[in-house]
Amino acid sequence: MTTAANPPGSAEIKEESLAFSGPISSETIPALLHSILATRDTGVLTLRLGGTEKSAYIRAGQLVFARSNDPENRLGEVLLRRGVLSVPGFESCTDEVARTKRRLGGLLVENGLITPQELIEGVREQVREIIHSMFQWTQGEYSFDMGPLPTTEAITLKVSTYETIRTGIQGVRTWYRIREAVGGLDTRYETAPDYDEKLDAFLTDEEENLLEFCSPPAASVREICEALSGNHFHLCRLIWALTVVDALTRVR
């Protein structure tokens, strides 16, 4: 089993338990998750803040499941937002779950409120929402425990490492985090020589243009924004995502 690269910040390494942990800052989660996925590790990444806890289950570099005690991430909430479950149906089964301690998904299918396929898609969406919400964390503590997964449940998302990082960062909506990750207008970026090996996903025209523009010599954030059309806020998020996966390199 490989060992994930040390994440940013001061992490406490526990070699005897094949685990590491540390504090979360504004740039921690994208870099940390990339290091785990890229080295194809198996284990559980857990984030904790106060009473909130979220975990991503990873098998050989693939996201296969996620758990969260955040009420917004509950399966019933996800199914309601998707419009496949009615409010009366949700309320009735919630009461039954509390009374019988059975799992909500099974009860919903058993009572004919959703189909088995809708349950599978709902759980898949639930896992995606939990993973994407982890990118929003800028404080708290994380831990990664490597080893066999403590669950047989698996809803493999079948998305590439770069797609995971890109989608997660696209959910960041605060400029201070993006600027902290990308740097000021004079920060320069250069396309890595082997960038195509870092990207295991379909690239948009915007990403292709960005990588081409930063082909040596390096270009500053100011030059990138002036030369490439489109939403500069989104463009800077792409710079961040491409830098996380080492397709772009910040030139010191």
Q: How many domains does the chain have?
A: 2
- Continuous segment of H or E residues that includes residue 55: strand 52-59
Q: What is the mean pLDDT of the chain?
A: 89
Same domain, 52 and 115: yes
166 lies in a domain? no
Sheet containing 248-251: order of strands: 219-220, 188-191, 248-251
Q: What share of the chain is helix, strand, coil (3-state, %, to 5)?
A: 45, 20, 35
Taking only the tens place, the pLDDT of each residue in 81-93 is: 999 999 998 888 8
The mean pLDDT of 226-239, rounded to a whole number, is: 95
The mean pLDDT of 99-117, rounded to a whole number, is: 90
The HSE-up count of residue 19 (CA atoms within 13 Å, CB side) is 14
Which pTM does this prediction carry? 0.85
- Whether the predicted pLDDT of 189 surpasses 50: yes
CATH code at position 187: 1.10.10
Q: Which domain holds residue 231?
A: 175-251
Res 12: pLDDT: 53
Same domain, 99 and 46: yes
- Whether the predicted pLDDT of 233 surpasses 50: yes
- Whether the predicted pLDDT of 139 surpasses 60: yes
Same domain, 233 and 124: no
Same domain, 189 and 153: no
15 lies in a domain? yes
The pLDDT-based confidence of 11 (bands split at 50, 70, 90) is low
79 lies in a domain? yes
- Whether the predicted pLDDT of 131 surpasses 90: yes
Q: How far is residue 141 from each of residues 50, 54, 192, measured CA to CA in Å?
A: 10, 11, 32
Same domain, 154 and 193: no
111-149 b/e with 16+ CB inside 10 Å = b?
A: eebbeeebbebbbebbbbbbbbbbbebbebebbbbbeeb
Same domain, 47 and 76: yes
